[in-house]
Structure 1
């Protein structure tokens, strides 16, 4: 199921910053500075720790699971970015900032956005696997709930008979 993508501040070139945008940018800068101070004080990670983190994060998201977005950043620059395709917003409701590749403002809050389309089409076998999954029949060795209840009742009755004989 594909998300219904939202738009905000379109057309992006005409978007006027709001008090909320200024507040979000100020808060993003404060958080960024705090994180940078914490990282400067933290001990360095070993190569083993970095490898463990890579394994936890897994492989990169395939391009057909990404959505292309046009973003207007706080600095005024309009850029294109890709995000997870399952979210109706480019910030995913969580991370609404990005480093501006044009002027270097870091962080630059996303103030307006519009969807452009998928980053790539899924491979043919991926699409056919997805559609076959939805029409798949349950395995023949699986029994229905009614069959399991009937077997359970029969076993309980057999247990009662055995208890009476003992």
Structure 2
């Protein structure tokens, strides 16, 4: 495990609970605190957990919640239906997510299930942004668009500490 005790304490504060199944900090704030954690596909209690990349940074979480409350997911779903290239890139992001999670294990209960609604719809901006922050831009187009919108709206920017 590449997560320090200090990371775990920060995560407890960010989440308001003890983090479960954390195997790595997949993205960090510019100040060094966790922003995204990578979690095991099976939690310590035995439960399957498909959301491998989990957004923890409070300001990023708030920003995604704001965008979801404003129904940005509906706009993204319309775009997926109307833009074949975007839909294909989103399906590829789903496959990327599954391949990276398989590195940690493959519980049969979540076979083919990624996160955020992939590959066919947008369901959770938090999970899609977490994927982008963990693996970099150019892999998850909806995560990339979410990040762009957060920045444009001044809701959150990973290049500025808002811890």
- When normalised by structure 2's length, the TM-score is 0.25
Bigger share in helix: 2
Question: Highest relative contact order (Cα 8 Å, sep 6+), 1 or 2?
Answer: 1
The normalised TM-score by structure 1 is 0.25
Which structure has greater strand proportion?
Answer: 1
